[in-house]
Amino acid sequence: MASKTPSLLDKHHILLTGGCGFLGSWILRQLIESYPELKITILDIQKPASWTSPTLNVRLVEADITDKLQVLSSFESVKPTIVIHTAGYITVGSARHKPSNEIRARTFNINVNGTKNVLEAAKAVGVKSFIYTSSCTVVMDDKTRNHPNENESAPTGHATLIYGQSKTESENLVLAANTALFRTTALRPSVIFGPGDYNFLPSVYQCIARNETPWIIGDANNLWDFVYVSNVADAHVLAMENLLTTGTAAGEAFFISNGEPVTFRAFCLAVWAAFGHVPKFEVSIPAGLAHWMGWASEWVDWLKGSEGPLTRGSIKDATQTEYVSIAKARIVLGYEPRVLLPQAVKISCQVSKKAVSITTMKLISAVYTRGTRRHGHKEQLIFVQHAFLAAI
């Protein structure tokens, strides 16, 4: 994204929540590239040990978004005029489909109460523009049906999984807060991947080590949406520019993807090929049979006291159709994916191989199969993210 004239933002100060995380780090990079003189404050729950400011205009404050007083104090100190709110909690593994009461409470506390705290603090100090990182799961986490070519007219409020439920509630808070003096918008990215991704891409790679690549679940014709991380970062910058100028994005939500729906199987094959792996044979398993295999696997996992990759939830995810239209983002925001899917997969896998060893990739996958991610980062894995970013 080319550098813009400084006049648009020369009097503004951005506060970026979750700026130490995967997406937040890329948004920071795009902001610096587009507006080198812009004042930016990152708000994150903990400063990574290896963190250093990329420019003199960027600083970091530590605050827990679930602590209302901490958030308000940080906002009063920074006095931002623009907020980009990316901090959140993502459920993965079994927690996505069968969360414990603790995980459920944490998800809603961070994603909903945390967003409420950030919104209230933003209004209290006179913030003019508020961009929220929502999720396609506000629609896609309705697991009772397929989702072909969804657009923003699709109803929300039907998510059957807690992540989509929490993002729906928080998105509603953000859009309801929109006024002429406090413009808000929400972006709904599809599955994000790219350099620095320590969740999705490693989980796809992990299938090689587990000898799972030959198995085809269902008919493998279900289309999915993916989006390269820098394209999502572009969308956030475009949304910010819109709110500061025409304001046509105010009070609106936008799906953000690469606009290149592809079968889930084809995407996985592309990732595996980039790592030098091609399945030697393929075996198709009907979706109905796979469902019962997942059920049996869950019982075995329960008896063993461990968590395996094959569950009814993972089968449902892998066989469902989930892709969106980005026509609204193109028209209103001027969004156009700059990095297309084949190039995005190639870059991501090249950087992954360059930045970390295969052993580390397995370690990351194992950690994130069992856990969840808070506020965009987890301290013990920060070194991996910075290795990814430094390798670009």
Enclosing domain of residue 72: 6-390
Mean pLDDT of 96-112: 93
Between 370 and 193, whose confidence is greater? 193
d(CA 160, CA 140): 9
Determine the average pLDDT of the residues in 70-83: 98
- Name the least confident of 59-68, 96-105, 335-344: 96-105
Q: Mark out the alpha helices in 55-154 (DSSP H runs).
A: 68-78, 94-97, 101-108, 114-124, 137-140
Neighbouring CB atoms inside 10 A of 249's CB total 27
Q: Which two tokens stand for residue 203?
A: 């989980």
Mean pLDDT of the chain: 86
In a 13 Å sphere around the CA of 132, the CA atoms on its Cβ side amount to 33
Q: Give the pLDDT confidence of 119-178 residue by residue, as tens digits.
A: 999 999 999 999 999 999 999 999 999 999 999 999 999 999 999 999 999 999 999 999
- The reported pLDDT for the residue numbered 197 is 87
Band of pLDDT at residue 79, cut at 50, 70 and 90:
very high
- Does the pLDDT at position 369 exceed 70? no
Q: How far apart are CA 143 and CA 153, in angstroms?
A: 18
CB within 8 Å of 252: residues ≥ 6 apart: 152, 175, 185, 186, 328, 332
Radius of gyration of the chain (CA): 20
Average the pLDDT over 281-289 and give the result. Answer: 82
262 SS3 class: strand
- Residues 6+ away with beta carbon under 8 Å from 160: 141, 142, 143, 144
Round to whole Å and give the CA distance between 1 and 37: 15
Spatial separation of the C-alpha atoms in residues 185 and 204, rounded to whole Å: 32
Q: What share of the chain in percent tops pLDDT 70?
A: 84
Within-domain flag for 32: yes
Q: What angle in degrees, to the nearest 10, is found between the helix axes of 101-108 and 162-176?
A: 20
Alpha-carbon distances of 92 from 236, 303, 349, rounded to whole Å = 24, 21, 21
pLDDT of 308 > 80? The answer is no
Is the confidence at residue 2, as pLDDT, over 70?
Answer: no
- Give the pLDDT score at 285: 80
Is the pLDDT assigned to residue 106 strictly greater than 60? yes
Give the CATH number, domain containing residue 170. Answer: 3.40.50.720
Nearest to 334 by CA among 256, 262, 260, 261: 256
Is the pLDDT score of 182 beyond 60?
yes
Higher pLDDT, 50 or 338: 338
- Give the global pTM: 0.87
Separation between Cα atoms, residue 122 and residue 135, nearest integer Å: 21
Distance, in Å, from the CA atom of 307 to the CA atom of 253, rounded to the nearest integer, reads 36
Residue 288 makes CB contacts below 8 A (sequence gap 6+) with none
User: Can you read off the two tokens belonging to residue 1?
Assistant: 């994204």
C-alpha separations of 283 from 66, 211, 218, 298, 370 in Å: 47, 12, 10, 22, 28
State yes or no: pLDDT of 60 exceeds 90. Answer: yes
Counted domains in the chain:
1
- The pLDDT value recorded for residue 309 is 67
In a domain, 1, yes or no: no
Q: What pLDDT, in 10s, does the model give residues 309-362?
A: 677 767 777 889 999 999 999 999 999 999 999 999 999 998 877 755 544 555
Q: pLDDT exceeding 90 applies to what percent of the chain? A: 63
For residue range 234-274, list pLDDT tens digits in order: 999 999 999 999 999 999 999 999 999 999 999 999 999 99
Please give the full DSSP string across 151-216, using - where no structure is assigned: -TTS--S---SHHHHHHHHHHHHHHHT--SSSEEEEEEE-EEESTT--SHHHHHHHHHHTT-TTEE
Q: Report the C-alpha gap between 2 and 13 in whole angstroms.
A: 20
- pLDDT band of 302, cuts 50, 70, 90: low
Kindly state the average pLDDT of the residues 53-64.
91
Q: Find the mean pLDDT for residues 354-381.
A: 46
Q: How far apart are CA 72 and CA 70, in angstroms?
A: 6
Q: Three-state SS for 147?
A: strand
Instruction: Examine the pLDDT at 48 and tell me if it is beyond 90.
Output: no
List, for residues 24-43, the tens digit of each pLDDT value.
999 999 999 999 989 999 99
Residue 43 placed within a domain: yes
Judged against a pLDDT cut of 60, whether residue 373 lies above it is answered with no
